[in-house]
Amino acid sequence: MRASAQTRQAGLTVATALLALATASCGTGGDDGADAQRATSSASAATTEHGTEAAYDAGWRAGKRIFADGGKGSSVREVVWGGCVRRSLTAQPRAVVEKDRGAWVLGCKQGVGTGEDRHPPAHQVTRREPAPDLLPRFRSWAATHGDRRPAGHADRTVLVHLGARDYDVELTTTYTGRTPEPQVKRLADTFATWWDGDDGDNANAWNLILLDEAGNRLTTRDL
């Protein structure tokens, strides 16, 4: 039996509505995924910014305490001679400082003075830069100076930038937490002797940080 024109029209209308609904649902699902990704990125950025702010604040307070104890002379020591950078290796609380050690250093430098103006960073300060070219140069030098064995335990070098002019050298080794301390110290001393103030034209390297194979800190040494 042939359906009436009115019945066929009603069926066409329903089908069109269902197709539109399905299309809208697919579009919404895609937007949800993009929105979730944007939300995750925003949350990550907010966490980083909060960590930088907290580290800067801790550094500022430390700088103010240093100035209160040492007066104007402390400003030169902490800013020009790397005092704030060296202090950042042991400053507390570690969980805050390590979120952005460069921000802590900046806060310390700004705090160790008579002024009360604060200029917190807008973005994370600490920047890690792999420096694979350092390792073969160090090993070559060590081999000609009788230190081939300790240099053989050096595995990876990274420059840890803590601002525009300050940085530390991070040396990952094949040592573990059970390696005897004299062995660790010999490698640190050998690297520092090779470095010998070779910081570059526009920057200062202040600390050598030796890590074990798992990335845990073994020791530090002035450069």
- 24 domain-assigned: no
Convert the pLDDT of each residue in 81-118 to its tens digit: 999 999 999 999 999 999 999 999 999 999 998 888 89
Confidence of residue 41 (pLDDT cuts 50, 70, 90): very low
Tell me how many domains the chain contains: 2
Statement to judge: residues 174 and 141 lie in one domain: yes
Statement to judge: residues 54 and 139 lie in one domain: no
What mean pLDDT is predicted for residues 51-58? 97
Residue 43: its pLDDT value, please?
43
Residue 32: its pLDDT value, please?
58
Give the chain's mean pLDDT: 84
Residue 135: its pLDDT value, please?
96
- 33 domain-assigned: no
- 216 domain-assigned: yes
Statement to judge: residues 80 and 131 lie in one domain: no
Statement to judge: residues 163 and 215 lie in one domain: yes
Statement to judge: residues 133 and 204 lie in one domain: yes
Least confident of 14-18, 69-73, 155-159, 179-183: 14-18
* Residue 183 token pair: 């062995």
Confidence of residue 40 (pLDDT cuts 50, 70, 90): very low
The pTM of the full predicted model, rounded to 2 decimals, is 0.77
* Omega within 30 of 0 (cis) for the link into 93: yes
Rounded CA separation 32/54 (Å): 33
Convert the pLDDT of each residue in 155-187 to its tens digit: 999 999 999 999 999 999 999 999 999 999 999
- 54 domain-assigned: yes
Q: Is the pLDDT of residue 11 over 50?
A: no
Residue 6: its pLDDT value, please?
43
- 55 domain-assigned: yes
Residue span of the structural domain in which 165 resides: 127-222
Residue 76: its pLDDT value, please?
92
Statement to judge: residues 81 and 147 lie in one domain: no
Statement to judge: residues 75 and 131 lie in one domain: no
Statement to judge: residues 144 and 205 lie in one domain: yes
Closest to 103 measured CA to CA, from 160, 43, 170, 158 = 160
Q: Is the pLDDT of residue 50 over 50?
A: yes
**Per-residue CA distances from 102 to 26, 57, 107, 114, 138 (Å):** 46, 12, 9, 22, 26
Statement to judge: residues 76 and 161 lie in one domain: no
Statement to judge: residues 107 and 132 lie in one domain: no
Residue 200 gets the label, from left (phi > 0), alpha (psi -120 to 50) or beta, of left
Residue 39: its pLDDT value, please?
44
- Give the residue from 111, 141, 162 where a domain finishes: 111
Q: Is the pLDDT of residue 22 over 60?
A: no
- Give the residue from 59, 84, 111 where a domain finishes: 111
CATH number of the domain bearing residue 178: 3.30.70
- 26 domain-assigned: no
Q: Is the pLDDT of residue 37 over 80?
A: no
- 91 domain-assigned: yes
- 19 domain-assigned: no
Statement to judge: residues 138 and 187 lie in one domain: yes
Q: Is the pLDDT of residue 14 over 90?
A: no
Q: Is the pLDDT of residue 18 over 70?
A: no
Side-chain-side CA neighbours of residue 14 (13 Å): 6
Residue 80: its pLDDT value, please?
92
Statement to judge: residues 99 and 133 lie in one domain: no
